[in-house]
């Protein structure tokens, strides 16, 4: 693991690191904020998964999470959204696929299957690296994310019961199997058999019996992707049928940007911190 930068912030440290990924077969970069409490011993951790076109840098620069994380003693880990590099297959003119758009799944179709293994990277490889190198209590993990990252956070929590103490999302893609901006990517990554897509679709996973103790979602009413890409009402219907307690906050006037995310970031971190103990 290579340290790219470390800066003091709110008496904690904001670091950026790079390592060679066995899952994605390329160099991967991630950010870790350690609160000041980490100087005394292991602290709980909150994973943040970013959305389409983003890297670790977007939330690190615009998310405004460090003050609250430092006050509550929670580490924040921000992975990248996809494999990257000259030898990684990509569609450079398509922001909804390839670089920056890994959808937190393990691709099965050539030529993407070799590198696009983000589900394994986030669920297995990166946590092992974090546990070996940072003062973090891996028995106290929670997860949240934005848009594509909200989709990733919820699906990973559904498929790893007991690992995460809590899960929340900002404007998650609730039903990527049928959403206009994710369906084409699913077909390229996973093939034409839509039964394989269900493992990476929140609503389908809930329909198939996967459960969460509870879920917090914030969604802007002025979000331009609301009707075609996000459709939180489908998540609301699925949770109601399954008996999953869902707090869905529809926020007047807010869009899909980090102006929206940063406004409610402290609320989400505090909600997770309470459940992390």
Q: What is the pLDDT of residue 177?
A: 95
Query: Total domain count for the chain?
Result: 1
Q: What pLDDT shows up at residue 233?
A: 97
- The stretch 229-240 carries a mean pLDDT of 97
Please list the active-site residues: 147, 223, 256
Q: Are strands 136-146 and 215-220 parallel, antiparallel or unpaired?
A: unpaired
Cβ burial of 227 (10 Å; 0-12, 13-18, 19+) is exposed
**CA 240 to chain centroid:** 23
- Pairing type for strands 75-79 and 246-251 reads unpaired
If phi over 0 gives left and psi between -120 and 50 gives alpha, with beta otherwise, what is residue 259?
A: alpha
Is residue 182 within 8 A of residue 206, CB to CB? The reply is no
Tens of pLDDT, residue by residue over 213-233, are 999 999 999 999 999 899 999
Residues near 111 by Cβ (< 8 Å), separated by ≥ 6?
89
| CA dist., res. 118 & res. 106, Å (int) | 6
What is the extent of the structural domain holding 106?
Answer: 2-276
Question: 144-158, pLDDT tens digit by residue?
Answer: 999 999 999 999 999
d(CA 76, CA 64) in angstroms, rounded, equals 11
Give the distance, in angstroms, between the CA of residue 35 and the centroid of all CA atoms in the same chain: 20
Comparing CA positions, the residue from 10, 53, 222, 22 lying closest to residue 149 is 53
pLDDT at 180 over 90: no
- pLDDT, one tens digit per residue, over 59-112 is 999 999 999 999 999 999 999 999 999 999 999 999 999 999 999 999 999 999
- How far apart, in Å, are the Cα atoms of 134 and each of 58, 87, 129? 22, 30, 9
The CATH number linked to 120 is 3.40.50.1820
């Amino acid at each position: 693991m290579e340290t790219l930068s470390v800066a003091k912030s709110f008496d904690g440290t904001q670091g950026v690191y790079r390592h060679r990924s066995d899952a994605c077969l390329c160099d991967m970069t991630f950010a870790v904020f350690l609160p000041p409490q980490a100087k005394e011993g292991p602290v709980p951790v909150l994973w943040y998964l970013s959305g389409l076109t983003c890297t670790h840098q977007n939330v690190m620069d615009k998310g405004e999470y460090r003050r609250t994380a430092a006050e509550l003693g929670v580490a924040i880990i921000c992975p990248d959204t996809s494999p990257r590099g000259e030898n990684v297959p990509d569609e450079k003119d398509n922001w909804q696929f390839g670089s920056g758009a890994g959808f937190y799944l393990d691709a099965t179709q050539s030529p993407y299957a070799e590198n696009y293994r983000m589900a394994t990277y986030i669920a297995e490889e990166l946590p092992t690296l974090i546990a070996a190198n940072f003062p973090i209590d891996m028995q106290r993990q929670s997860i949240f994310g934005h848009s594509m990252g909200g989709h990733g956070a919820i699906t990973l929590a559904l498929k790893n019961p007991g690992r995460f103490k809590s899960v929340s999302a900002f404007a998650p893609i609730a039903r990527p199997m049928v959403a206009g901006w994710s369906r084409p990517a699913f077909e390229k990554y996973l093939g034409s058999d839509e039964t394989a897509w269900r493992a990476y679709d929140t609503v389908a996973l809930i329909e198939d019996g996967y459960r969460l103790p509870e879920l917090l979602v914030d969604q802007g009413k002025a979000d331009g992707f609301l009707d075609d890409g996000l459709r939180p009402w489908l998540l609301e219907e699925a949770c109601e049928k399954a008996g999953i307690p869902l707090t869905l906050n529809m926020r007047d006037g807010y869009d899909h940007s980090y102006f929206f995310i940063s406004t409610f970031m402290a609320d989400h971190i505090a909600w997770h911190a309470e459940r992390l103990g």
